[in-house]
Structure 1
Amino acid sequence: MEPSIAEENGPEGVVAYVVCSMSDIPSQRARGFELMKVEDGVEKPFNLIVVRWGRQVFGYVNLCPHDGVKLDWERNQFLDPNGIRLMCGKHGALFELGTGVCIEGPCKGRSLTPVALSIIDNDICVTGVTLAEEEEDEDDEEITSCSDEGGGV
């Protein structure tokens, strides 16, 4: 499923953008999304990693603090061989899933940039950043808007 974005004012007036459904990412897996964010009226690339662990989700900017490269060495390959840490494919830096802190490698002690995520109506939604709206193609699957029900992480 191509990451589509929908928005609606959630609780406390926060705008939440649907990135994908919980069912799109199996538990104990991670998936990358190449989105666009709006900063000062200008659209910029926004590469996001979403990690799902049971009913919890963690979001990080897909950028290693050591060398400024994307973590995935192949599309959606973010986890170490044991499947318990995020791993940079370039130099093997290992990051804790829940905190994004590097525990081993050339950037030990530094952190991935966290991205606020919420689970709303079984959709994983980004909050705290303004995403650019995608243009609708006739073939694109429509995703429903986030509502103010559900839990966040």
Structure 2
Amino acid sequence: MNERGTQSNIAYAICGFNDIPNQRAMGFHLMLVDEDGGYRPWPIVVVRWGKRVFAYLNKCPHTGVHLDWERNQFFDPLGMRLMCGKHGSTFELGTGRCVDGRCKGSSLTPVALTVLDGEICATGVRLVEEEDSSG
């Protein structure tokens, strides 16, 4: 993971834009730095749809479980919505809003992304860098 930008507006490169095939999603297990300097897991799902990317915490608002029932399996059978593998709730790609299932009306927590020089980057957070976690 590479860090880009000024201290106040850091963008953390997560993966290359083309690492995620069009109309697919990929999960990432990152570590977030809390305000007190501690680390906590930050699982996210990144969706690529054409030239757009969306990201959400990989956490169903109904029970808090990860959405994917198998590694990187996030979509409903039609491949048009994100789906919780535990209870089948489905979510709009662009908004994260649950449109069907036990958490209907709730939403996934969005993650701010930008694409810089062909890399998908998380913004608005502080992530653990590899050298930070080694020692």
The one-letter code of the counterpart of 2:60 is: C
> CA shift at 1:13, angstroms?
4.3
Corresponding residue of 1:30: 25
Task: Extract structure 1 runs of 4+ deviating beyond 4 A.
Answer: none
Q: Counterparts of 1:134 and 1:80 in 2: how far apart (Å)?
A: 34
Quote the residue 2:89 is aligned against.
93
Over the aligned positions, Cα root-mean-square deviation in angstroms equals 1.4
Mapped to 1, the partners of 2:53 and 2:119 lie a distance apart of 11
Q: Deviations over 1:43-96 (max 9, x none)?
A: 100001000001100010000000010000000000111110000000000000
Alignment partner of 1:74 is 2:64: no
Amino acid at match of 2:77: P
User: Is the 2:4–2:13 Cα contact (8 Å) retained in structure 1?
Assistant: no
2:80 and 2:131 map into 1 onto residues whose CA distance is: 36
Amino acid at match of 1:7: E
1:121 and 2:117 equivalent? yes
Q: Which runs of 5+ in 1 are unaligned?
A: 137-153
Q: TM-score, normalised by structure 1?
A: 0.83
* 1:135 positional shift: 3.6
Matched, 1:106 2:102: yes
- Give the TM-score, by structure 2 length: 0.94
C-alpha distance in 2 between matches for 1:134 and 1:90: 32
Aligned pair count reads 131
Identity of counterpart residues, as a percentage? 60
In 2, the alpha carbon distance for the partners of 1:117 and 1:8 equals 13
Per the TM alignment, residue 6 of structure 1 is displaced from its structure 2 partner at its CA by 1.0
* Structure 1 counterpart SS, 2:130: coil
Distance across 2 between alignment mates of 1:8 and 1:78: 29
